[in-house]
Copies of this chain bind each other. A is one copy, B any other.
Amino acid sequence: MHLHLRDGDMLRLVCADSAGPFAGAVIMPNLVPPVTSAEVLTAYRARILEAAGPHAAAFQPLMTLFFQHYTEAQLAAALPDLFAVKLYPHGVTTNSESGIHSISAADPTFRLMEEMGIPLLVHGETTGFVLDRETEFLSVYETLATRFPRLRIVMEHITTAAAVTLLDRFENLHATVTAHHLIITLDDVAGGMLQPHLFCKPIAKRPSDRDALLAAALAAHPKLMMGSDSAPHPREAKECCGCAAGVYSAPVLLPRLAQLFADHGALDHLQAFISGNACRIHGLNPPDKSITLVRESWTVPTRCGDGSGPTVVPWEAGSELEWRVKA
Contacts and interface: CB of A to CB of B under 8 A. Distances in A.
Contact of A191 (B129, B206, B241): B129
Contacts of A241: 195-197, 238-239, 313, 317
A131 B189 CA distance: 12
Given A196-B194, A245-B194, A187 B129 contact: yes
Contact of A130 (B129, B187, B240, B317): B187
Contacts of A206: 129, 131
B242 A191 contact: no
Most buried by B among A129, A130, A190, A238: A190
A196 B129 contact: no
Contacts of A193: 242-245
Copies, count: 2
B194 A243 contact: yes
A190 B205 CA distance: 12
A187 B196 CA distance: 15
Interface string A128-139: 011100000000
Contacts of A155: none
B191 A194 contact: no
A131 B199 contact: no
Interface of A: 129-131, 185-187, 189-191, 193-197, 199, 203, 206-207, 238-245, 313, 317
25 contacts: A129-B185, A129-B187, A129-B206, A130-B186, A131-B131, A131-B186, A131-B206, A189-B190, A190-B190, A193-B242, A193-B245, A194-B194, A194-B196, A194-B199, A194-B242, A194-B244, A194-B245, A195-B241, A196-B196, A196-B241, A238-B241, A239-B240, A239-B241, A241-B313, A241-B317
